[in-house]
Amino acid sequence: MKRFVSVRIAHLLALCAFLLLSTFAQAQTDPLPSWNDGASKKAILTFVKRVTTKGSPDFVPPPERIATFDNDGTLWAEQPMYFQFFFALDRVKALAPQHPEWKDKEPFASLLKGDVKGALAGGDRAMLELVLATHTGMSTEEFEKIVKDWLATAKHPVTKQPFTEMVYRPMLELLAYLRANGFKTFIVSGGGIEFMRPWMEKTYGIPPEQVVGSSIKTKFELRDGKPVLVRLPEVNFIDDNVGKPVGINQHIGRRPIAAFGNSDGDLQMLQWTTAGTGARFALIVHHTDAAREWAYDRQSSIGKLDKALDEAKAKGWTVVDMKNDWKRIFAFEQ
Amino acid sequence: MKRFVSVRIAHLLALCAFLLLSTFAQAQTDPLPSWNDGASKKAILTFVKRVTTKGSPDFVPPPERIATFDNDGTLWAEQPMYFQFFFALDRVKALAPQHPEWKDKEPFASLLKGDVKGALAGGDRAMLELVLATHTGMSTEEFEKIVKDWLATAKHPVTKQPFTEMVYRPMLELLAYLRANGFKTFIVSGGGIEFMRPWMEKTYGIPPEQVVGSSIKTKFELRDGKPVLVRLPEVNFIDDNVGKPVGINQHIGRRPIAAFGNSDGDLQMLQWTTAGTGARFALIVHHTDAAREWAYDRQSSIGKLDKALDEAKAKGWTVVDMKNDWKRIFAFEQ
């Protein structure tokens, strides 16, 4: 009898161990642990299963599993203004001693007095002028070093975190999950292509050749027999709105099967992606969490989400409610 | 004694089998069987070993193993004229009924009379006019279909082979060998990016997103609610000469460690590649085989190789002598 009981106990212990282990394994294998269970997470998992299941009518061969991601407001934050613009402001300050004429010239004059709002009163034109004045004139290699040096020390004005820490954990998990399922992940952003490339490989696991963005023209020159590419103060391409499908076609040459954005600037990319044949996926990150991040949409000057939100609802695209869908937004939380 | 002899014979047979098998295995594992043993083949094998040997001072991590290839004259033939130009000529004939005005307008008039030389008397301007007239006005998807349909039936005027059969076997082996060693292979060609992408994945194993080329502008439009990209009669980018490093930087964003070309149009790409730090490799395909292919260099209007040949000699770049270095050029030979 004693012997029988021990055997029963041993069986029970084994059963418990099995149950514990399988629960643990299940927790371990959730590919999106920072996402709450809900419609958004389910839509992602269902789509990936559909296109990766061999023999399924929706199966997509790996080379065609192209996924494109906007950056500002989709993979990292964009408030109180685009991070690249903080970079431009710091560059104006750093370069001011070499530009005495800026003291009397807008938008530089206001900026140097600390009046960012005044500087931006000139709208897109002022913004472009600031970018061209601070992003050009040097070689591509020199610019890369300037960006890296800035990122190593610059801090976000509200969170006091390095800008590369202001990336969304749920989206990092999503990038890794898609890649683990044979997707090739691309950035398609209105941001400067050479402002993004120096840090995206480390932060997102996306190599420079998979980054599409806005660009200025460059010119090949031999300097003392050494070839350089000089950055010219002339716009080459604006990768936003109607520019996004153009940029996708130019760089990737294949229509994505999944696209991820957060604003009206992403609308055409989502339209272009979902207009293809076969299974398609479109997702919009809706900024609804004023406590952990920011809450904004139709009225915002940065990352305005209005038309794309209406179209998402009309077409059944996935709209992520950051407040309710995301368990944890930033790695530095708490 | 008889027994002893049989054992000896068995041993000898085993030895013979071993020798035969190891010779066979060696032949099997030669990654470049269409290359004769010589300086060019050795230079390639040595470079790949240097950058892929862990712990070697020249080791390059896989993400940085970028190799760029010119196309015309480097991966496929380019005589008696660039193959894309045969496409343009066939398109002029196909479109002529819709363009009665072409009968009195150069370069179309000469061309429609069968006078290719006369049509080309207008030089680059005439060539550009022919390309813009035949390559634009349709959507990107329509253009892709036109290219594919043409390639399915068009034949090279001399060899009577489909153009996609006019690819160099030794270079196909080289592409595969580099990829097997962790390289990412890119096309960087003066040819039209959307003329090349439809067939390169199948022919070279290079996906559309790794093809860099010349391009015309495109415009995003909604046609009956369906998004299309319309090809405009306006040059966007010329990916040749000084344009090649610009195109590499724009699309890849990382300097190649190896580059392959055949003409002066590739010189700046080779300069840009070899000016980087660490181990670098530059190779020029020299057309020296008038019997199996064509022989041309300094005096040729197509694929002129003059300055780049001098620089290759001065800098010790690898120059492939097609006649002596390549065992077999085309798959259809004999």
Query: What is the DSSP track for A159-175?
Result: T-SBGGG-B-HHHHHHH
Report whether A238 contacts A213 (CB < 8 A): no
Q: In this complex, is the C-beta atom of B202 within 8 Å of any C-beta atom belonging to chain A?
A: no
Which residues of A, range 174-193, sit inside 8 Å of B by Cβ?
184, 186, 193
Q: What is the pLDDT of residue A12?
A: 61
Residue B192 falls in which region: left (phi positive, over 0), alpha (psi -120 to 50) or beta: beta
Q: Write the single-letter amino acid at A199.
A: W
What mean pLDDT is reported for chain A?
93
pLDDT digit string (tens) for B26-49?
Answer: 555 899 999 999 999 999 999 999
**Partners of residue A194 in chain B, C-beta under 8 Å:** 253
What is the Cα–Cα distance from A157 to A13, expressed in whole angstroms? Answer: 54
Q: In this complex, is the C-beta atom of A252 within 8 Å of any C-beta atom belonging to chain B?
A: yes
Q: What is the pLDDT of residue B218?
A: 98
> Count of A–B CB contacts within 8 Å?
88
Q: What is the pLDDT of residue A1?
A: 46
Q: In this complex, is the C-beta atom of B205 within 8 Å of any C-beta atom belonging to chain A?
A: no
Alpha helices in A168-306 (DSSP H): 169-180, 193-204, 243-251, 267-274
DSSP A70: -
pTM: 0.91
Backbone angles phi, psi at B11, to 5 degrees: -60, -45
Backbone angles phi, psi at B311, to 5 degrees: -65, -35
What is the Cα–Cα distance from B127 to B176, expressed in whole angstroms? Answer: 34
Q: In this complex, is the C-beta atom of A229 within 8 Å of any C-beta atom belonging to chain B?
A: yes
Report whether B258 contacts B280 (CB < 8 A): yes
* Residue A76 pLDDT greater than 50, yes or no: yes
User: What is the three-class DSSP state of B69?
Assistant: strand
- How far does B58 lie from chain A, in Å, by closest CA? 21
Cα A191 off chain centre by? 10
* Residue A50 pLDDT greater than 60, yes or no: yes
* Residue A16 pLDDT greater than 80, yes or no: no
Q: What is the pLDDT of residue B285?
A: 98
Alpha carbons within 13 angstroms on the beta-carbon side of residue A19 total: 6
* Residue B57 pLDDT greater than 60, yes or no: yes
* Residue B7 pLDDT greater than 70, yes or no: no
Q: Write the single-letter amino acid at A208.
A: P
CA distances from B26 to B19, B23, B29, B32, B44 (A): 11, 5, 5, 12, 18
Query: What is the DSSP track for B217-250?
Result: EEEEEEETTEEEEEEEEEEEE--STTHHHHHHHH
Q: Average pLDDT of B147-160?
A: 98
* Residue A5 pLDDT greater than 70, yes or no: no
Q: Provide the terminal-to-terminal Cα distance of chain B, rounded to the nearest Å.
A: 53
Q: What is the pLDDT of residue B1?
A: 45
Q: Is B271 exposed, middle or buried (0-12, 13-18, 19+ CB in 10 A)?
A: buried
Q: Write the single-letter amino acid at B184.
A: K
pLDDT digit string (tens) for B221-257?
Answer: 999 999 999 999 999 999 999 999 999 999 999 999 9
Higher pLDDT, B209 or A333: B209
Pair of tokens at residue B177: 């060998």
Pair of tokens at residue B183: 């390289």
Contact residues for A28 (Cβ-Cβ < 8 A; gap 6+): none
- How far does B254 lie from chain A, in Å, by closest CA? 7
Give strand pairing partners of B230: B139, B219
Q: In this complex, is the C-beta atom of B161 within 8 Å of any C-beta atom belonging to chain A?
A: no
**CA nearest A228 in B: which residue?**
B272
For B220, the closest of A215, A245, A253 (CB atoms) is A245
Beta carbons of A193 and B250 less than 8 Å apart: yes
